[in-house]
């Protein structure tokens, strides 16, 4: 079945860029998503990319998709302390509405 992997931790200084990486195994995944989760809260949709795109930019967020390598990344420009959270990537299984979530990357922004 689909497997989605992320690195567990990332620490950056305020003002730097953060890059969070994700790999997945199901090449037929149609949509790929990035969600943010703050402590004790639900998941906030940040952005998504359709599988026929290779890049999407939305203000400080840039998503890159390498479909050949099944690699997805989220770049946050000018990272702020408020960006500290857990970031999940999720792949939507082809032909279903089900998501497979990655393990989550805990981003810590140092002032």
Partner 1 sequence: GAVVSQHPSRVICKSGTSVKIECRSLDFQATTMFWYRQFPKQSLMLMATSNEGSKATYEQGVEKDKFLINHASLTLSTLTVTSAHPEDSSFYICSASGQRGLANQETQYFGPGTRLLVL
Q: In whole angstroms, what is the distance from residue 20 CA to residue 75 CA?
A: 6
Q: Which is nearer to partner 1, 97 or 111 (CB)?
A: 97
Query: Which residue reads 């949509």 in tokens?
Result: 31
* Nearest distance from C-beta of residue 60 to partner 1, angstroms: 20
Query: Which residues does residue 24 pair with via DSSP β-bridges, in sequence order?
Result: 4
* Nearest distance from C-beta of residue 8 to partner 1, angstroms: 9
Tell me the residue ranges of DSSP E strands in the chain.
4-6, 9-13, 18-24, 31-37, 43-50, 55-58, 61-66, 71-76, 85-92, 99-101, 105-110
Q: Which is nearer to partner 1, 15 or 21 (CB)?
A: 21
| Contacts to partner 1 by CB under 8 A | 30-31, 33, 35, 40-45, 48, 88, 92, 97-99, 101-104
* Nearest distance from C-beta of residue 15 to partner 1, angstroms: 28
* Nearest distance from C-beta of residue 33 to partner 1, angstroms: 7
Q: Which is nearer to partner 1, 24 or 35 (CB)?
A: 35
Q: Which is nearer to partner 1, 86 or 109 (CB)?
A: 86
Reading the block at residue 41, the tokens are 């809260």
CA 108, chain centre distance (Å): 15
């Amino acid at each position: 079945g689909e497997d989605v992997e992320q690195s567990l931790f990332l620490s950056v200084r305020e003002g730097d860029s953060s890059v969070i990486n994700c790999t997945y195994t199901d090449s037929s995944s149609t949509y790929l998503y990035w969600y943010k989760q703050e402590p004790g809260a639900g998941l906030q949709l940040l952005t998504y990319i359709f599988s026929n795109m290779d890049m999407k930019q939305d203000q400080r967020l840039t998503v890159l998709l390498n479909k050949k390598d099944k690699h997805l990344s989220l770049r946050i420009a000018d990272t702020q302390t408020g960006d500290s959270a857990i970031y999940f990537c999720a792949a939507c299984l082809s032909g279903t509405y089900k998501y497979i979530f990655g393990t989550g990357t805990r981003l810590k922004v140092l002032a």
